[in-house]
Amino acid sequence: MLQLILELFTSEQTAKDILANPTTELIFMILFTTFFLAILVHISLFTRLKKIRNYIDTTNRLDMEPLSTFKAEYDRVRQEEPVKPETFVQEKFSGWRVFNVPVVNLIKMVQMTVSVFILIGVLGTFIGLTISLGSINGAGGQLVENVAAVLSGIDVAFYTSIAGMGLSLAMTVLTKVFNTEHMLTDLMLKFESQLEATEQDGMNRLIDVSESINQSIQYLQETNQQSLTGIEQAFAGFQEYTSGLQQSAKDLAAFNDGLASNLETFQELFAHMKEVTDGFGESTAKLNDNFDTLFAYFKKMDRNHEQMAQTMENTYERIKDVSETQANTLQQFEKSAEELKAFTSSILEEQQSMHTAFEKITQKTNDLAEKMDAHNKEFKQVFGSDLSAKLSGIITAVRELSKDFEKMGGSISQLPEALEVINQTQAEYKHLLSERFDDLKEFNRTFNNHLKAHSEESKDFERQMRDAAQTHERLGTQNNQLINEINKTISQMNHSFQQRENQVEASMDAIKKTLSDYVANLEGKLGEKLDKVARNIDDSVDMTNDGLKKEFQEIRRLSEEVQQNNARYIQQTLKDLGREIEELNRQLNRMGQQLENNSGRLRQNEY
């Protein structure tokens, strides 16, 4: 098998010479076996990564293994505690095993075969040279023949180095064309973007929060404008209410003036009633005196007229009962008048009862006048004209008293109408005051609701500001962590490449030193070949080192540009956010001053 492979590149005799040494055959077997195994692993890994990536690009889903397992575990961990998607993705993909080996280590092992092929080829060359040089026998006269034989077959020993470098070059081209590391990084980024698709990115959230803040500010301005319009309307209504209240106060003042005049008239009426009562009392006293005189006269009369005296005594008793009834009625009227003065709320019913009482008094007075007229006639028949003249004076006084009571009844009959007008005016004033108080309550309720809504909006705005600040802090922390991780990764890569470069340089130095020592002892064509090989190796190493240095410089430059761009973007974002916060604070201060001024004017209007 090895011979067939070698015959593809060399002649049959050369292949047999190469495989004549068991050590060289073992080295070639190791090289080709490792190469084919590395190609198989590399192609399989690249195919699997590409299949997963194409599935994500095509379906935009994560239901393929191992992504579905990672997604389920990410959802479970995120419910328990917050976790960064990039950290989770790095952790899971670094632990992902392919062929029972972590995929990152597998990629590094495949990449490491590039150096392994070179080292194995160089090792085979040195082993072949050592064996060839060790077979030279320095004794006897066959030294020249032995050296010539060794020199003629020494080119076979370099086929291992050529094979190792060729396989290394082929593996390098293969890893660059089918770049599994780039494919894995792309897959990780796509998976991370899919995870972050479920939650907003930091900058997008900051922009959304800023937009929501702006919308809240605009809504707050509109609400404040509406509130100010409502307050103006409320103040206009309050001004109308004040005007109505002033008109009501004027009406109340006019009502109070009318009530005062009515009370004065009522006071005069009670004074007149008191005078009438005093006159009636005096008349009653005089009447009692006259009756005393009359009874004295009756006592002096002849005892023969005892029956007539008894009749007169009965008449006197009846007149006395009537007088007592009239006195009691007048006392009840005086009490009713006092109660009417004290309790104006029940005056209408009391006046009705008084009117009824006065009607009864008038009826009794008329009855008394009729009885007195009948008695007068009887007295006339019995005693003659003198007693009739005396009794006619009494009747005249009683008639005058009846006329006075009729006048008082007419005055009192007008009192219910005045009280009804007063009651109606009080009801209208009460209704007007209730409407004004309802308007004032509605205004207070509207203003209180506006203050509550403004307080809720202020709380929402403060909560959004806290969310924006937390998001900005979290974004800054993530950027710092990302920059630190990038710097750490770059430093690790630089260190790894530096170690690799040092190892290659050390190996090349050792090879160059060994070859230079060996070339110094050789002559002719072998020396030229070795010099050419050494120069080719030096050129290859220099080109590799230059390429690696350029790549490192480009990576360093890109990382610095990314850091500078991130720093400038963060600074610009912070400045914009600071300006928005300052503008928002100024607007809040102006709104607070306006609310204080409005509250002050409202308190002044209430006073």
Q: What is the pLDDT of residues 175-224, one digit of tens each?
A: 888 888 888 788 778 777 777 766 555 455 555 655 665 665 566 567 65
Residue labelled with tokens 């077997």:
29
What sign does the dihedral 212-213-216-222 (CA atoms) show?
negative
Confidence of residue 173 (pLDDT cuts 50, 70, 90): confident
Q: What is the pLDDT of residues 364-381, one digit of tens each?
A: 767 766 776 676 666 566
Residue 234 has pLDDT above 70, yes or no: no
Confidence at residue 88, expressed as pLDDT on a 0 to 100 scale: 74
Q: What is the pLDDT of residues 295-338, one digit of tens each?
A: 665 566 666 556 655 665 665 576 566 556 656 655 665 665 46
φ/ψ of 98, rounded to 5, equals: -125, 130
Distance CA 427, CA 418 (A): 14
Q: What is the pLDDT of residues 473-522, one digit of tens each?
A: 776 677 677 667 766 766 776 676 677 667 756 666 665 666 566 555 65
Q: What is the pLDDT of residues 89-148, one digit of tens each?
A: 777 777 777 777 888 888 888 888 888 888 877 777 777 777 666 666 555 555 555 565
Residue 58 has pLDDT above 60, yes or no: yes
Residues 6+ apart with CB under 8 A from 221: 587
Question: At 219, which amino acid appears?
Answer: Y
Local structure of residue 157 (DSSP, 8 states): T
Instruction: Give SS3 for 97.
Output: strand
Mean pLDDT value of segment 562-588: 73
Confidence of residue 170 (pLDDT cuts 50, 70, 90): confident
Residues 6+ apart with CB under 8 A from 375: 315, 391
CA-based nearest residue to 282, from 381, 401, 186, 377: 401
Distance CA 32, CA 17 (A): 18
Confidence at residue 456, expressed as pLDDT on a 0 to 100 scale: 77
Distance CA 134, CA 131 (A): 5
Confidence at residue 465, expressed as pLDDT on a 0 to 100 scale: 65
CA-based nearest residue to 123, from 169, 161, 167: 161
Q: CA 122, 125, 129, 132: dihedral to nearest 10 degrees?
A: 160
Q: What is the pLDDT of residues 144-166, one digit of tens each?
A: 555 655 555 566 667 777 778 88
61 vs 241 pLDDT, higher one: 61
Confidence at residue 238, expressed as pLDDT on a 0 to 100 scale: 47
- Model pTM above 0.85: no
DSSP letters, 531-554, are HHHHHHHHHHHHHHHHHHHHHHHH
Q: What is the mean pLDDT of the chain?
A: 67
Confidence at residue 364, expressed as pLDDT on a 0 to 100 scale: 72
Domain range summary for the chain, segments of one domain joined by +: 1-199, 228-449
Q: CA 434, 436, 438, 442: dihedral to nearest 10 degrees?
A: -170
Distance CA 482, CA 476 (A): 10
Confidence at residue 202, expressed as pLDDT on a 0 to 100 scale: 47
DSSP letters, 314-360, are HHHHHHHHHHHHHHHHHHHHHHHHHHHHH-GGGHHHHHHHHHHHHHH
Q: CA 526, 528, 529, 535: dihedral to nearest 10 degrees?
A: 140
Confidence at residue 210, expressed as pLDDT on a 0 to 100 scale: 57
CA-based nearest residue to 471, from 251, 254, 199: 199
Confidence at residue 251, expressed as pLDDT on a 0 to 100 scale: 65
Confidence at residue 401, expressed as pLDDT on a 0 to 100 scale: 66
10 φψ region: left (φ > 0), alpha (ψ -120 to 50), beta (else) = beta
Confidence of residue 168 (pLDDT cuts 50, 70, 90): confident
